[in-house]
Amino acid sequence: MPNTQVARTISASAKINLTLSVTGRDDKGYHKLVSAVAFTDFGDKLHLQDASDMRLDIDGPFASQLHGDNADNLLNHAHGLAKNYAQTAGLPLPSCHHILLEKHIPIGGGLGGGSADAAAYLRFLSAKWGEEHITALRALSVTLGADVPACFDNHSHIMAGIGEAPTRIAPSPSSKDWPYMVITNPHCHGDTASVFKAYARSQTRFSPNTPKEIADIVSQEDWGGLFAIGNDLTDAACHLYPEIGTLLFEMGNFGRALGSAFIGHAMSGSGASCFALFTTDYSAHSFQQACQERGFWSVQTRFF
């Protein structure tokens, strides 16, 4: 944001699908999901300054991969949603902003980057409102994308349906005490709609997993149980994007070389990003270095 003083900075945390089960289809043909979702210290930054109109600039490692109009539209839609709700509820209208989006989350990576950005902006715009109004705005945020309500809450969830009804997980004692993590990406941009279409062509049955079953596994911190459930979209994504399969294969090799400190690995969302969990900071660091040496993008982080 050249020649201006940044008034405030907000964080948009990357989303990780620890599990993803496709459980059916609704009457509109959308796939119904059950997914354990968590958030990380790693993510995008939004630098905001009050302005008379909305403007977006994009910077950061993945700025060149993001079409400005798409990001601009999503953040403008978030502002419009908050403004329309404020008018209806008789609340003070939110300010317009010049936004510098510092893009660290890979584009099309299954990490909810666009949803996280929109949700973080909505949280900021509604922060001065009462709790009942924030809750109402959160419910409306599904119109921006299925992941936005969970990203709005920004804490561990079970997402059910198409994302409109996340149920909070209550980890004990805190997700901060969950394992160390490395997020990876094979420099591949996955298309969610294409992955779901490929899944539909190959799918023979839906998963029987229920939100309660998965919530119980997460609450017990049964990481082996979570990796056993896995991600139902993995085969479809690997068929469309062989780079993901290569990455998962290499991650398995890197992890097994670390012995018992390696908990497991999986794909997040519809891809292309994947993640691995570890019992120690040292093993996570070693794993990240191995990924980088093989040319994969990677970052070490912790659960939020």
Distance CA 180, CA 162 (A): 29
The closest alpha carbon to 102, from 3, 10, 5, belongs to 10
E strand map for 121-192: 157-161, 167-168, 180-185
Neighbours of 302 (CB within 10 A): 16
The closest alpha carbon to 209, from 230, 236, 193, belongs to 230
Options 15, 44, 103, 232, the catalytic residue: 15
Distance CA 112, CA 90 (A): 31
Options 44, 72, 117, 147, the catalytic residue: 147
Distance CA 265, CA 276 (A): 4
153 is catalytic: no
**Which is it for strands 31-51 and 8-17: parallel, antiparallel or unpaired?**
antiparallel
Total residues belonging to the chain: 304
103 is catalytic: no
The closest alpha carbon to 49, from 16, 3, 8, belongs to 8
Distance CA 75, CA 61 (A): 19
Name the residues annotated as catalytic: 15, 147
